[in-house]
Amino acid sequence: MPTIIYIDHAGTERPIEVKTGLTVMEGAIKHNVPGIDADCGGACACATCHVYVDPDWTDKVGSASAMEESMLDFAEGVEPNSRLSCQIKVTDDLDGLRVTTPESQH
Amino acid sequence: MSVTEGEGIVIVGAGHAGGSCAAFLRQYGFTGPITLIGEEPVAPYQRPPLSKAWLKGEADAASLALRPESFYAENQIALRLNARVERIDRAGKAIVLGGGQTLPYDRLILATGRRARRIPLPGIDLEGVLELRTAADADRLKAALSSPGKRLAVIGGGYIGLEAAASARALGAEAVVIEKETRVLARVARETLSTFFQAYHRAKGVVFELGAGVAAIEGERGQAVGVRLSDGRLIDADAVLVGVGAVANDELAKDAGLETDNGVVVDLLCRTADPAIYAIGDCTRRPLPHYDRIGHLESVPNALEQAKQVASAFTLRPPPAHEVPWFWSDQYDLKLQIAGLPHDATEIVVRGDPAPTLGGARFAVFHLTADHKVQAVEAINAPPEFMAGKQLIQSRKPVAPDKLADLSISMKEVAA
């Protein structure tokens, strides 16, 4: 199973094994990783699962869809490496992916 | 590892609010005993997909679950399923379970949710008359629509009814929506949105009976075969889904002498009049800080916000901010996002074209007060309008209606 490394705002790293096919958001929620709220459960409707993708991984993770872009546009503290983690599907290629959660999702 | 029960926090109701509250308590560092009691046979799961992805067979039990089964034991949360709480003994600070067993608590959190409203209708107890609230309900509905060509009659043109009709069409079933008002979503949305949804669903093959009373559900050999309208016509159906709203499960609180009013009355911090008893989620009647009134919010964001309020209070963390209420619905390729409540709105501004073009529909309806503050926004496939609208509801900043309606001005500019 690929390991996703969730890093919180304070720098604490939490490596979590996430089943392929789940999203990076689901991996966090199901293991009670703090920092990702995902109020809408993954419907790309709320922008409360915002993460910063480690710059070494942005190419592998790919870019956001137009719908995701327009949600991100209104989230707090958006950077070029911002993504909604409900839109990143975990694959074997993403083993070792590092994502950092923002200070607040609201 | 053994899990201690009782004499800590007892949560009654293992839905989205109760399950999340237990998880937040652990996430925030609460180390005392937590007992989570649920009537259903399954661990906490997400209800919104039941009428959508789950019904269409696009989600499995693992993805529906809020947390994996193993989570509860790993986090020392005593999970009691298939358990019904009969009453609260406030003087003794204990709850009494169905079998007569008592369980003491230091603090009690009621997260009992709502149940589908039942209407006294001849034939309501026939086989094939369904409601949609639980995973078991959804499984029954899915089974009833399992082979193509089945006919679903839906009584009630609210979100549940429309989402189920959309899913039924996706499964190859026929769908008739029967609504006593002259438009769908009459209770929750304005005319622009109702007109749009009716036209969109019609184009997808859904049939509407609007302004139609229901006289009875007809049956043969105990099985529902159709819905008899007040005008005498019979709508043939293999299954009848009744989706006419929900009532609060507030009896436990009421019987214990706590204030209820179609919901357990709580303050902004989810407290009841009993300092040891809190209530969260759909079952509450709560202040709506942006609207200077009290009401109830049937939504996942509200369940999560109140779960965090209580978990923060118990772990001495600063309380989370009070959020603008919001809701969403997926039907076909339509993403509906609603922020706010249209209370005290006197003006409607439509941004975009609400004509129901298949593929490419995109517009938003803003509800403004007389002094041009946004009270609510209903957005179809229009995330910027939703997000900016939500921020404007929070900021109370007035906006010029002509700017809001002007598609050449971006929502970022309008909200700036």
Residue range A16-71, pLDDT digits in tens: 999 999 999 999 998 989 889 888 888 788 889 999 999 999 999 999 998 899 88
pLDDT at B4: 58
Residue range A86-95, pLDDT digits in tens: 999 999 999 9
CB contact under 8 A, A39 and B304: yes
CATH classification of the domain holding B57: 3.50.50.60
Q: Which residues in chain B are closer than 8 Å to A22, comparing Cβ atoms?
A: 63
pLDDT at B53: 86
Residues B234 and B207 both lie in one domain: yes
CB distance from B73 to chain A under 8 Å? no
Nearest chain B residue to A66, by CA:
B383
Q: Chain B: nearest CA to A17, how far in angstroms?
A: 13
Q: Chain A: nearest CA to B222, how far in angstroms?
A: 39
**pLDDT in 10s for each residue of chain B, 416 residues:** 345 555 699 999 999 999 999 999 999 999 999 999 999 999 999 999 999 888 888 888 888 999 998 999 999 999 999 999 999 999 999 999 998 999 999 999 999 999 999 999 999 999 999 999 999 999 999 999 988 899 999 999 999 999 999 999 999 999 999 999 999 999 888 889 999 999 999 999 999 999 999 999 999 999 999 999 999 999 999 999 999 999 999 999 999 999 999 999 999 999 999 999 999 999 999 999 989 999 999 999 999 999 999 999 999 999 998 989 999 998 998 999 999 999 999 999 999 998 877 777 899 999 999 999 999 999 999 999 999 999 999 999 999 999 999 999 999 999 88
Range of the domain at B308: 9-115+247-314
Does residue B325 sit within a domain?
A: no
Does residue B397 sit within a domain?
A: yes
Residues B111 and B255 both lie in one domain: yes
Q: Which of A6, A31, A89, A106 to mutate to test the interface with B (most CBs of B within 10 A)?
A: A106
Q: Which residues in chain B are closer than 8 Å to A32, comparing Cβ atoms?
A: 23, 26-27, 67, 71, 75
What domain count does chain B have? 3
Residues B219 and B139 both lie in one domain: yes
Q: Chain B: nearest CA to A45, how far in angstroms?
A: 7
Does residue B348 sit within a domain?
A: yes
Residues B147 and B190 both lie in one domain: yes
pLDDT at B143: 93
Residues B135 and B239 both lie in one domain: yes
pTM: 0.94
Facing residue for A43 by CB, picked from B75, B328, B384: B328
Facing residue for B301 by CB, picked from A30, A32, A39: A39
CB contact under 8 A, B328 and A46: yes
The helix or strand, by DSSP H or E, that contains position A61, with its residue range, turns out to be helix A58-61
Facing residue for B23 by CB, picked from A22, A32, A41: A32
The superfamily CATH assigns to domain A3-100 is: Beta-grasp domain (3.10.20.30)
Given B244, B278, B302, the domain boundary residue is B244
Does residue B21 sit within a domain?
A: yes
pLDDT at B1: 39
CB contact under 8 A, A70 and B383: yes
Residues B183 and B204 both lie in one domain: yes
HEC per residue, chain B: CCCCCCCCEEEECCCHHHHHHHHHHHHCCCCCCEEEECCCCCCCECCHHHHCCCCCCCCCHHHHECCCCHHHHHCCEEEECCCCEEEEECCCCEEEECCCCEEECCEEEECCCEEECCCCCCCCCCECEECCCCHHHHHHHHHHCCCCCCEEEEECCCHHHHHHHHHHHHCCCEEEEEECCCCCCCCCCCHHHHHHHHHHHHHCCCEEEECCCEEEEEEECCEEEEEEECCCCEEECCEEEECCCEEECCHHHHHCCCCECCCEECCCCCECCCCCEEECHHHEEEEECCCCEEECCCCHHHHHHHHHHHHHHHCCCCCCCCCCCEEEEEECCEEEEEEECCCCCCEEEEEEECCCCCCCCEEEEEEECCCCCEEEEEEECCHHHHHHHHHHHHHCCCCCHHHHHCCCCCHHHHHC
Residues B111 and B251 both lie in one domain: yes
pLDDT at B58: 87
CB contact under 8 A, B66 and A29: yes
Does residue B323 sit within a domain?
A: no
Residue range B215-227, pLDDT digits in tens: 999 999 999 999 9
Does residue B225 sit within a domain?
A: yes
CB distance from B29 to chain A under 8 Å? no
Under 8 Å CB pairs connecting chains A and B tally to: 64
Does residue B4 sit within a domain?
A: no
CB contact under 8 A, A22 and B63: yes
CB distance from B67 to chain A under 8 Å? yes
Nearest chain A residue to B74, by CA:
A31
